[in-house]
Chains A and B, each alone.
Chain A
Amino acid sequence: MSTDATEALERSAVPWLFATALVTTAPHVLHQPNWLSALTGLILLLAGGLWWRNAQPPRRWQLVPLVVGACVGIFVEYRTLFGRDAGVGMLLVFMALKLLELKGKRDAVVVVTLGYFLLLTHYFYSQSIPTGLWLLAAVVVVTATLIRLHGGPASTPPATLRYAALLTVQAIPFMVVLYLLFPRISGPLWGLPQDAHAGQSGLSEQMTIGDIANLALNGDIAFRVRFDGPLPDRQKLYWRGPVMEAFDGTTWRPLTGKRAAERIELLSPPLTYETTLEANQQRWLLALDAPAPLPAEFALNGTLTATARQPVTQRQRFRLSGSPDYRFNVDEDPQILLRNLALPPDLNPRSRALAASWREAPPKQIVQNALDLFAGQEFAYTLQPPLLGANGIDDFLFQTRRGFCEHYAAAFVVLMRAAGVPARVVGGYQGGEANPVDGYLVIRQSDAHAWAEVWLENEGWVRVDPTFVVAPARLESGIANALPAGEPLPGLVQVRAEWLRGLRYRWEALNNAWNQQVLGYNPQRQRELLSRLGLSDTDWRGLVTLLGAACLALLLLITGWTLYHRRSDDPARRLWLRALRRLTRRKVNCPPWETPLALLRRLETECPELAVPFAEVAEAYLAARYGQLPGDLKILRAAIARLP
């Protein structure tokens, strides 16, 4: 008996294995270091060359240096062999090396299994619609390879691909049923490697001047929001991130340490909304200011920033509410107020001198003085501010006068503190773009913003946005309109052509639907679906039973579809039936049980004018159906054509 293990691999099946290797490894070029992609490509080329020259595969020991070299390289690159990226790198190298040592059919089956496995690893990096489609096509190619391996040379490439596509299409119902009904477990099952969620950018926990300007070049979506009611005024959409109170001359950082809970007084009814937050590796939820009332699973951190218990490492959906008009901490801890007056000594003397001259005025007047300063003089809003020296605020206020939102926020807070008004910088996002297709408000990284908060007697912390004074358009219609022409911006943000923007809205709405409906299908959605099906109190056992029943029904259905086959599929018989229909039209009764020759004999007596042409038909049919050379239908077809 021959098994896969001993069976030799046909030479003509090897190109299929290369196709498998290519479709499963190629997209990783985008994520793996260049040297690793080059190494993988070189090994594949080498293996292809060996196949082309029909040469012997290299011996095991000859491959050892390659394996060791690749492992060392991966270790140097990632400092581990087992993380997410390192693991994928190892799999890529193994895939390429396996093609160098193809001997039997078993090696080929290993290549295919590895190929299926590699397909999964692409989802670490992207789960978008194009990735999904590409991988569906890749599944067809890998499956075709498997079919070719077992079908032998009789399995021609087009037929093999068609068969693989048919199998994949038949597998899709199983996928849908399993996707909906398989008991979902929220991962992770155990600690993920360090780099599990690497490579996702966003607002950071501290602010150095220039950070947000960099972020403004990033058109990625930070989060999407859908309000239950109508969309509020754009100028009120402040999405609150970290509050930064410590300043060392260059960088703003949040203060650490325990704080008393916020005392919030809501002045307008809360707006409820659902937010879908992309992974940002931070705990803050970027909730609408002020985030109250807050659901129980979240908390405020003492500076009115809503936070989750765990960093947001993957796309998540929450229901939140926020009140744009509020009073916050009217009685603030004096210790905190003191810390919000601290400035690094010896830095920015000119700013401090200017602010000191305002000290006698009431705090509201001081705030107005600073805003007037920004409004009156030649201050410009730009993404490309000149470099600032050690006394950054002085340089900005008195020399360059060109800056982005963080310049204005930081300068404003420094002036306030120097004038004796407690103030701090707040990071977050401002505004957003409403997608008319699905009604979602889309907030991008380019909507990142920094503003200031000052503490006033009897009013608590009050938001002041100095950018509004310099570039009112920034708040009214977004960054693209606030910046002077010629400033670099991410392609998607600066698009002004109507039709292109419509296309973009459509594409993003499609992506959003994909994210919400397909990727966002989680245990909670599963429960909702079951309760809609009338199975609200189903535990996992019920779910498994339901799943089993559904799969069994599908299996029977597909078995029936596959095995069903009509008896009259014989082409000669089909033609014969056509001839009988012709006779019926000529008022000849043709019972189905009559044999061709009996029918002919009856015709000879009943209607002799038909008997002569019909004799040819009967003879051709008998020859085609039962003769020595079955399948020759031309004569039969011609004879039927001659029937009157």
Chain B
Amino acid sequence: MRLLANLQQRLFRWRSDGTAPLRLGQRRIFILPTRAGLLFAAALAVMLIGAINYNLALGHALVFLLAGLGLTGMIHTFRNLFGLHITPGRCTPVFAGETALFPLLLANDRPTTRLALELTAQPGLPVNTALAPLASATVAVPVTASRRGWLELPRVRLASRYPLGLFVAWSYLQPAMRCLVYPQPLHSPLPAPSAESSGGQYSGDGGQEDFAGFRLRLPADSPRHVAWKASARDGGQRPLQVKQFAGGAELELQLDWALTDPGLSAESRLSQLAGWVLAAEAEGHCYGLRLPGQEIRPASGGRQQQLCLETLALFPT
């Protein structure tokens, strides 16, 4: 087994391709006949015997033409991959249990189409694409995210049988790409706002109760807080404004590791916290996160949610 692994390592030179764009050269492309190709070869052998036996001159010619067709088909299958440019993209985080999508930008610098390109990172999850002449396309390669944390893109097999299906050409891609996987959220009722937080030093900042004025909208602000009416009045001429509130200290939530069910496993407790973060954000609360050794100040909005989920995803256990 180790010998085989060693051999594969030598032959296919599996190693990370880094984050730089890569071009498929002839040393990266492998080609072998498919089952259909073997069937074709067997049919040709039978036809040749028939042509010899019946002394069919044109039968010989037909068999030789088809053999030549097989060979040119091999060249064209190789060409379908040869010179393809692949640039790794950036992936968006997903929750555990979902499918992570690793975008790869495939660029065709040939004046011919490249059809039926098949990318597989995980057996059973192939994705097909085709490239027009001198065009590029982004392909999201799916991988099932089963555990929280960083998910490295496994080795991707880029294969093609086009045009004749008698040969399969393939190449192994290993761009350094990883996707952050958040814990799978466990939905449970939010904990009561903790008493401790009500008198905290952050009270009054970013609350949701009393209107306190406008400020410019930042990308992290929830669209819910945008002063749409004010914006509509001036006909959208000025940048969007966000209503600012004061107070609301009693709804400030502290999502604390200690509040989770201690009977659960550590992973489940993280899942519960992730569920809380989603629920708190959905209900528009101001929330913070407290984990053993880490603390995030209460806030709200997409950035806060992202920060909390990232912390949960990467929390060492």
Contacts and interface: CB of A to CB of B under 8 A. Distances in A.
Contacts of B58: 123, 127, 131-132, 135, 518-519
Contacts of B73: 167
Contacts, number: 181
B111 A147 contact: no
Interface stretch (A170-178, A256-264, A349-357, A426-434): A170-178
Nearest to A631: B134
Contacts of A570: 109, 134
A77 interface: no
Interface stretch (B94-102, B115-123, B262-270, B302-310): B115-123
A127 B57 contact: yes
Contacts of B69: 139, 143, 167-168, 171
B201 interface: no
A123 B58 CA distance: 7
Nearest to B36: A109
Given A185-B52, A190-B53, A519-B57, A171 B71 contact: yes
Nearest to B131: A154
Contact of B120 (A1, A146, A152, A631): A1
A286 B103 CA distance: 78
28 contacts: A1-B120, A4-B165, A109-B165, A123-B59, A124-B56, A139-B69, A147-B162, A150-B115, A152-B128, A159-B113, A167-B76, A168-B65, A170-B72, A170-B75, A171-B65, A171-B66, A171-B69, A174-B65, A174-B72, A175-B61, A187-B54, A188-B52, A189-B52, A519-B58, A558-B75, A562-B75, A563-B83, A570-B109
Per DSSP, chain A at the interface is: helix
Contacts of A551: 71
A30 B73 CA distance: 33
B189 interface: no
A136 B62 CA distance: 8
Nearest to A170: B72
A155 B64 contact: no
The 9 closest A-B pairs by CB, nearest first: A174-B68, A171-B68, A178-B64, A519-B57, A175-B65, A171-B69, A170-B72, A150-B165, A151-B115
Nearest to B57: A519
A37 B111 CA distance: 45
B126 A188 contact: no
Interface string B152-178: 000000000111110000000000000
A150 B162 contact: yes
Interface string A101-129: 00000100110010011011001100100
Given A149-B165, A152-B115, 16 more contacts: A5-B35, A120-B59, A131-B58, A139-B62, A147-B163, A147-B164, A150-B163, A152-B116, A167-B163, A171-B69, A172-B65, A189-B49, A519-B58, A563-B82, A565-B83, A631-B134
Nearest to A149: B165
A135 to B, nearest CB: 7
Given A4-B165, A120-B47, A120-B59, A154 B115 contact: yes
Contacts of A270: none
Contacts of A109: 36, 39, 165
Contacts of B124: 1
Contacts of A190: 53
Interface string B73-112: 1011011001100000000000000000000000001110
A145 to B, nearest CB: 10
Contact of A520 (B39, B57, B111, B163): B57
A124 B56 CA distance: 7
Interface string B183-208: 00000000000000000000000000
Contacts of A336: none
Interface of A: 1-5, 84, 106, 109-110, 113, 116-117, 119-120, 123-124, 127, 131-132, 135-136, 139, 143, 146-147, 149-152, 154-155, 159, 163, 167-168, 170-175, 178-179, 182, 185-190, 192, 196, 314, 518-521, 551, 555, 558-559, 562-563, 565, 569-571, 631
Contacts of A131: 58
A519 to B, nearest CB: 4
Interface residues of B, number: 57
A551 B75 CA distance: 13
B108 to A, nearest CB: 11
B43 interface: yes
B116 A150 contact: yes
A163 B59 CA distance: 24
A120 B50 contact: yes
Contact of A116 (B66, B82, B116): B66
Given A152-B115, A154-B115, A519-B57, A175 B68 contact: yes
Nearest to B162: A150
B22 interface: no
B55 A2 contact: no
Given A150-B163, A174-B67, A189-B49, A135 B62 contact: yes
B43 A151 contact: no
A123 B56 contact: yes
